[in-house]
Structure 1
Amino acid sequence: MRKIEPASFVGERPWQALDIEAIEDATVPLHWTDRPYRWHVNDGPEVFVPLDGSVTMHYRRAGQEHCLVLGPGDICHAEAGDEHFAEPHGTVRILVIEKAGSP
């Protein structure tokens, strides 16, 4: 058993990950970032949980762009095939659960 203190994790580059666990075909990384990610589509579902800071999750459905603002503890679920990107507001740490090998 180990204790992880998210607030002490600081990446050397945006979206650097601290790999916490791999469970069957899923991974659980803790990401540190202060910059947006790019638009992308995953081949499996993803769950995002900001642990500190806030993030705007941009996503497209039926050609329309939408946004969700997430604060600490909020949960965002992206289905496989959802086009999306995360835009942090300052520095943020995000716990992600995703299919192993997802971009």
Structure 2
Amino acid sequence: MEIIRSKAFTASRAWGAKDIANMDGITTRLHWTDQPYKWHINDGEEVFVVLDGIVEMLYKQDGQERSVTLHSGDIFYASVGTEHVAHPNGEARILVIEKEGSV
């Protein structure tokens, strides 16, 4: 049993994470960042929940680059093969649920 105060979580580097759970190969991790990630495609599906802050999520759909602004409480679901990159606006805390070892 553990209680995690996500708004108090920080890391020593951008996209640093706290491992919360691994359920049959599906990981749940809390990330802190103040820097963009990199364009990538996960090995499977990904659920990306903004817990604190604002994140611009860029993604490619039908060959077109698109963008959506995510606020605290918003969820981005990346289906298999969705190329995407997260750009926080300042500090952000994000809960990511994905296949273990995914990029």
How many angstroms does 1:56 deviate by? 0.7
User: Which residue of structure 2 lines up, in the alignment, with residue 102 of structure 1?
Assistant: 102
The equivalent residue for 1:85 is 85
What stretches of structure 1 move > 6 A for 4+ residues in a row? none
> Identity, % of aligned pairs?
52
Structure 2: unaligned runs, 5 residues or longer: none
Q: Name the CA distance, whole Å, in 1 between partners of 2:62 and 2:2.
A: 43
Spell out, residue by residue over 1:7-48, the C-alpha distance to the aligned partner (whole angstroms, 9 max, x if none). 121110000000000011200000000000000011100001
One-letter amino acid of the counterpart of residue 93, structure 2 = R
Q: Which has the higher strand share?
A: 1
Give RMSD over aligned pairs: 0.7
Query: Is 1:60 matched up with 2:64?
Result: no
In structure 1, C-alpha distance between the alignment counterparts of 2:97 and 2:41, rounded to whole Å: 15
Shift of 1:58: 0.4
Deviation, 1:62, is: 2.1
Gaps spanning 5+ residues in structure 1: where?
none
**Where does 1:11-26 land on structure 2 (aligned, <5 Å)?**
11-26=11-26
Q: Which TM-score applies when normalising by structure 1?
A: 0.97
Q: Helix, strand or coil for the counterpart of 1:90?
A: coil
- Report the Cα distance in structure 2 between the residues aligned to 1:36 and 1:25, rounded to whole angstroms: 26
